[in-house]
Structure 1
Amino acid sequence: MKDHLAEIIIAAVIFLAVSAIGFIAARWRRPDDMGHLNEWGLGGRSFGSWITWFLVGGDLYTAYTFVAVPALLFASGALGFYAVPYTVIVYPMVFVVLVRLWSVSHKHGFVTPADFVRARSGSSTMALLVAITGIVATMPYIALQLVGIEAVLKSMHVDPTWALIIAFAILAAYTYQSGLRAPALIAFVKDALIYIVIIVAVIYIPYKLGGWHKIFDAADAKFAKTHGTVLNPGNQWQYVTWALGSALALFLYPHSITGVLASRSRNVIKRNMSALPAYSLLLGLIALLGYMAIAAQTTPIKTNGKADNNTVVPQLFDQMFPHWFAGVAFAAVAIGALVPAAIMSIAAANLFTRNIFKEYIKRDATPRQEAAVSKVASLVVKAGAVLVILLISPQFSIDLQLIGGVIILQTLPAVGIGLYTRWLHRWGLVAGWLVGMGLGVWMLYQIPNPATNHVHFGGSAFPLSKWFDPTSIGLDAKTQVYVGFVAVVANAVVAVIVTLICRALRASDGVDTTSPDDYLSDADSKTPPPLAEDQLPEPVPTS
């Protein structure tokens, strides 16, 4: 540990300084009363373009970006670049979608996507399924942030167990006090640190290694037998479905929607969706750290006798940077984990409070009681994430995000399609969710991972050979596809079929409490009603 003393001190000082900002955030733009989910969970719905840009960017580009993506390139080559195109294609897709969600949520005071589904479909059952799905999908994403911190701690030869517990205890404390304002304020520091570290890395490390041609030559040499620096026939469909499925899933996550709903106007969202692709350029540079590690002959730290590829980037920084700057880089990774983890825990807590506690446990809950329950729920979510990461293999990181995507994609018909049409019957939505979720979990169960000794749930890429001979339709025998993509297609097909049956039988549908104008309203059209008056419609008995 003595060899890493400078790194530990610098990283700890920066971490504590940022934590102090988190506590100070409680006084930043402080309202008269924080005892409302509008204030604690959505920052008063008052964030402008700059704050939203850093908040949403800090939320979407996480420790997963810094650790798991370069680790996948280090181990598997070009397949790891799937994360770049999906963050490019997602913003044009959601440019017009998210403003509709913001408008209807602003008009009715919705706090969660399940609030919207409850009002749009008239189905308390579907809203409950959306809430549970959001909470379950968010848990592995929070755990993934811990993977980044854990990798940094290992590289500094610090016992990760107690350090993780302490770090998340601090995170829990300032999130409990400051709500969404804490990660919004910290995101400025987080993004500044990450930009500095990456700009230095893509200039300094290639210079030390003899140039970019040496880096790509080293990658070519490592993947010569597997042709890993380009896609091969066996993984092309995996790459395409990973990218498209991840793009469709990204803004279905509760934490992504939370950042959007905290914006103060439709124009703020439009400007952000136009500017956020700048982060994709940064992501491409971050991904190349995996190839730099190959050229630098970086050795991952071994855990239980097996190489932990998640430590590749921290080990590269430790190997190539002076100790003081490595400490700055380690702090950037750790803070890059804390910002999204805070937003995710708030989003999951809001889902529990609004769509489970208030809907099924205490329908007459006051705004202050809602805020109190949400604060406690956020603590429980963080504690659960810590337990998850302490109990699973750390080499499982990339699939923590991809498996979470399989789960959250099943809300696409209810949330995404529901923003444009109410044609899908509420029972069609429920049936589609059940089939999509069941198929997705079954397919995940069938996937092993010999590298991590996982017999089941070992990945998210499903071999088509388990169902039929891919060569019979002109595909490579080893062709794999993303489970989430297959599951959501099945979800949509079943939803359409059941809808047609329900329409033919004239089955009762729920009541839509939104109107077409609600999806086009802006900040000056109507202020969200106080949460004390913002009651969701009574459940439809047949739902």
Structure 2
Amino acid sequence: MNWPALIVFIALFLFVTGLGFWAARWRAGDLTRLDEWGLGGRRFGTFVTWFLLGGDLYTAYTFIAVPALVYGAGALGFFAVPYTILVYPLLYLIFPRLWSLAHKHGYVTSSDVVLGRYGNKWLALAIGVTGIVATMPYIALQLVGMQVVIGAMGVSGNGVIGDLPLIIAFIILAAFTYTSGLRAPAMIAVVKDLLIYIVVIAVTIAVPLKLGGFGPIFSALPAAKLTLAAPVGATYGSYSIYATLALGSALALFLYPHSLTAILSSSSPGAIRRNAALLPAYSLVLGLLALLGFMAVALHAGSNPAFADGFKRYGNSFAVPALILSVFPGWFAGVAFAAIAIGALVPSAIMSIACANIVSRTIYRGFLVPHATDSQEASVAKLASLLVKVGALVFIIFVPVPYALQFQLLGGLWIIQVLPAVILGLYLRMLNGWALLAGWAVGAGLGTWMAGTTSFKAAVFTLSFMGIHFPSYIAIWALVANIIVSVILSALLNPFVARAPVLAD
């Protein structure tokens, strides 16, 4: 048991717990209203939105998984850096328009936007359910990051005892989310991001100093890990995989309910545009995080007997904890591990709130009780947020981590299928709700089938045309099929199927 690390970890965790409960009084509003509880009253300015989006998008799983991918696969793992750069021009150009539409008509979710644009409640339901299903394994995987750092401090065990720290953490999370809504993760995100910046800067200074600079670090790496493998023959190989992973991930990122929730909570379109300019600072941190994978290779972390059990239990995900434990004293390891654990709480809270908003607005009020009061709607959302957390906790306890990763793969390719209805619908009037529903079904079905051909173990599918082979991120192929079906069917259906009046922007 690493007691110095554990004591610092617990102290910081208790501090952010107190912040979470106190947040209910911060910028106080009527928390019996869904837009107050689930969107923070839409009053977050540039500063708070920056931390909220950063805490939302750069999760504990990011801090564990990106270096782990670089540690295992090398340069391919750096696709996460360009994709987070690609996404911000999209944020700048598209999402202020969506915010204005949502603010004008009181929309809380992407399902609301779709219902308002097309008047098709079944399409709105499909968009909402897709968001929930795609987000659930995402919440569960935050626990993977928390599991890894808890295990790194020596807290382990089998059965309920081993899972007890996670259970306690999520009980705390459920409590302050229920009482404070989106204000809690918004406030905690400030602490989380500051801690992450401190840890990343410290590691990128300390490890090169210990190893004699970045030259020895890169010299210690196998040549195959330093660059992408060149295409062979008529196969584009890792080049097309790298490019489509970056593009697909960029297109999907702000379609997740939690990303959209953070955007809709901002105070104005200007706040969103300013954040599009400021958020690339996180991409710099992400690049440094990816380098941690190379640093772990240079330190031979995987061959260190002290970390044999950690790598056996958690695989390459243990690379970052091993690196931190190799370089820093116990108390600073506690700071780093607390930063990662808090990095699980913030996005988990936002994700559960986003799913709860969908359950309450789209399912409860949209289908079950159309005349529900605002107070009833908010109460259902709060209860739904608890159920979502319980579901995620059960998922990670009883489903092995490799299967959780496979569900996350499916979640990514499913969520991108809402792009035509949510994003293209902001600009193209000719799209038909029923055609979009058919396109969504084709894209989700085709993507699931492609993933199934790999036994849900890979995100890449190869298409061949005229002897040329194009391995690509599955979500891109599925999205292309979705758009083709949506556009062609819209052209065929529009003369015969009456469309609902489209609300003005």
TM-score in same-fold range (> 0.5) = yes
CA displacement 1:43-84 (0-9 Å, x = unmatched): 011111101111111101111221000000000001100100
CA displacement 1:470-518 (0-9 Å, x = unmatched): 7812x4xxx63111111111100111111122135x2222232x11xx3
Is the 1:62–1:337 contact (alpha carbons within 8 Å) kept by the matching residues of 2?
Answer: yes
SS of 1:458's equivalent in the other structure is: coil
Partner residue of 1:29?
27
Partner residue of 2:57?
60
Structure 1 residue 420: deviation in Å?
Answer: 1.1
Aligned partner letter, 1:283? L
265 and 175 in structure 1: CA distance in 2 versus 1, 3 angstrom threshold: same
Report which of the two has the higher share of helix.
2
Aligned partner letter, 1:491? N
Note the 1:439-518 alignment, pairs <5 A.
439-447=446-454, 456-462=455-461, 464=462, 468=464, 472-473=467-468, 475=469, 480-504=471-495, 506-512=496-502, 514-515=503-504, 518=505
48 and 394 in structure 1: CA distance in 2 versus 1, 3 angstrom threshold: same
CA displacement 1:188-235 (0-9 Å, x = unmatched): 10011000000101001111122111111122x2xx4x4553343221
Structure 1 residue 396: deviation in Å?
Answer: 6.1
Partner residue of 1:260?
263
Question: Is there any run of 5+ residues in structure 2 with no aligned partner, and where?
Answer: 157-161, 232-236
Q: Does 1:145 align with 2:142?
A: yes
Is the 1:309–1:395 contact (alpha carbons within 8 Å) kept by the matching residues of 2?
Answer: no
Is the 1:74–1:291 contact (alpha carbons within 8 Å) kept by the matching residues of 2?
Answer: yes
CA displacement 1:311-340 (0-9 Å, x = unmatched): 111121112111110010000000011101
Partner residue of 1:433?
440
Match of 1:20 among 18, 21, 27: 18
Distance 1:165 1:283 in 2: 29
Q: Does 1:111 align with 2:108?
A: yes
Identity of counterpart residues, as a percentage? 52
Distance 2:194 2:113 in 1: 35
Structure 1 residue 428: deviation in Å?
Answer: 1.0
Question: Is there any run of 5+ residues in structure 1 with no aligned partner, and where?
Answer: 448-455, 519-543
Distance 2:227 2:74 in 1: 5
Distance 1:196 1:305 in 2: 29
Match of 1:154 among 126, 151, 156: 151
Partner residue of 2:159?
none
Q: Does 1:181 align with 2:188?
A: no
The alignment yields a C-alpha RMSD, in angstroms, of 1.7
Note the 1:64-463 alignment, pairs <5 A.
64-159=61-156, 160-219=162-221, 221=222, 224=223, 226=224, 229-233=227-231, 234-299=237-302, 302=309, 308-395=315-402, 401-447=408-454, 456-462=455-461
Distance 2:111 2:187 in 1: 27
SS of 1:41's equivalent in the other structure is: helix
SS of 2:200's equivalent in the other structure is: helix
SS of 1:319's equivalent in the other structure is: helix
Partner residue of 1:538?
none
Distance 1:276 1:304 in 2: 33
Distance 1:13 1:345 in 2: 25
Aligned partner letter, 2:115? R
Structure 1 residue 397: deviation in Å?
Answer: 6.8
77 and 511 in structure 1: CA distance in 2 versus 1, 3 angstrom threshold: same
Distance 1:321 1:250 in 2: 34
471 and 392 in structure 1: CA distance in 2 versus 1, 3 angstrom threshold: farther
Is the 2:396–2:404 contact (alpha carbons within 8 Å) kept by the matching residues of 1?
Answer: no
SS of 2:472's equivalent in the other structure is: strand
Partner residue of 2:234?
none
Structure 1 residue 307: deviation in Å?
Answer: 5.7
Structure 1 residue 402: deviation in Å?
Answer: 4.1
Structure 1 residue 303: deviation in Å?
Answer: 7.3
SS of 1:480's equivalent in the other structure is: strand
Aligned partner letter, 2:99? W
- Segment of structure 1 superposing worse, 152-161 or 129-138: 152-161
Partner residue of 1:7?
5
CA displacement 1:383-435 (0-9 Å, x = unmatched): 11112222333356766554322110000000010111221111110110010
SS of 1:424's equivalent in the other structure is: coil
Distance 2:151 2:132 in 1: 29
501 and 66 in structure 1: CA distance in 2 versus 1, 3 angstrom threshold: same
Structure 1 residue 284: deviation in Å?
Answer: 0.3
Is the 1:69–1:398 contact (alpha carbons within 8 Å) kept by the matching residues of 2?
Answer: no
Q: Number of paired residues?
A: 491
Distance 1:427 1:313 in 2: 47
Distance 1:227 1:310 in 2: 17
Is the 1:301–1:307 contact (alpha carbons within 8 Å) kept by the matching residues of 2?
Answer: no
Partner residue of 1:528?
none
Aligned partner letter, 2:145? G
Distance 1:181 1:173 in 2: 13
Q: State TM-score, norm by structure 1.
A: 0.88
50 and 146 in structure 1: CA distance in 2 versus 1, 3 angstrom threshold: same
